[in-house]
Structure 1
Amino acid sequence: MQSINRIILKSVFLPIFFGSSLAAAALVVLMLFEPSLPGAQWALAGSGLYFLGMFVVTVVGNVPLNNRLESTDANGSGGSEM
């Protein structure tokens, strides 16, 4: 898992992750300013859920867990030496 976390940081994953999160956040803002557009409520709900479920959960939950995992020994001893 540690190697996967390191590879993700150097891959195309991060631009896609941040780009899709930014697009969802922009759609939320757009739908808040143009609520009369057809399907605006659905677009607002979908993009809001996506942003919360994808970006917020990752930043608040998964990144701290990955950082704790990175600080442990790969052999499972729990030490910070590598």
Structure 2
Amino acid sequence: MSFWFYFLTQSTLIAYALVGGVFLAFSDFIMRSLKQISGRGGVEAMQVINREVFRWIFMTLFLGLAPVSVALILYSYVSLSGPSALLIAASGAVYLLGCFGVTIVRNVPMNEALARLETGGSEAAEYWTSIYLPRWTFWNSVRTLACTISAALLLSGVLWLNSNPVT
């Protein structure tokens, strides 16, 4: 395995785990905590979180993993074969579909809808409790699982590749 591919896979593995860890924190305790804040407090806190998420560290990891995942898929198809190629390509595909895709199709539209609401209004409270909290948390849990699976598949692929270097 070339040094650059080794470095790329190790860095990507860590990044998948870090992004998944952020999502896990939200599904595990942040959303439950925000649910316990009375009325508009949870809505307002989540609106602030959704603005602050655009800071460079998380967004660099999250967005950067999309082209890196494509690169893993292409490299696996062109340069690898056997189980390692399948595992490494699958890691990228799972991230692209289960994390990046779900974010764009499910979580971002809900975040945008929440951002448009007045924090003190009854419409915000209704949207927050009946739609946003259950659905956003469900799809966030899907993203958590996708990142975890991506990391596990990538780790398995690299381990397979290292133990069977003739691919």
Q: Give TM-score scaled by structure 2 length.
A: 0.43
Instruction: Show CA shifts across 1:48-68 (max 9, x none).
Output: 111111111101111111000
Do structure 1's residue 43 and structure 2's residue 88 form an aligned pair? Answer: yes
Spell out structure 1 runs of 4+ moving beyond 3 A. none
Give the partner amino acid of 1:29.
L
Q: Which runs of 5+ in 2 are unaligned?
A: 1-45, 125-167
Instruction: Measure how far apart 1:10 and its partner are.
Output: 2.8
Structure 1 or 2: more helix by fraction: 2
- What is the distance in 1 between the residues matched to 2:121 and 2:66? 34
- What is the distance in 1 between the residues matched to 2:55 and 2:121? 25
- What is the distance in 2 between the residues matched to 1:27 and 1:13? 21
Instruction: Measure how far apart 1:76 and its partner are.
Output: 3.9
Identity fraction in percent: 35
Instruction: Measure how far apart 1:35 and its partner are.
Output: 4.4
Whichever of the two has the greater Rg, that structure is 2
Q: Which runs of 5+ in 1 are unaligned?
A: none
Give the partner amino acid of 1:22.
P
Higher RCO (CA-CA < 8 Å; seq separation 6+): 2
Instruction: Show CA shifts across 1:22-79 (max 9, x none).
Output: 2112111222223426600111112111111111110111111100010011124337
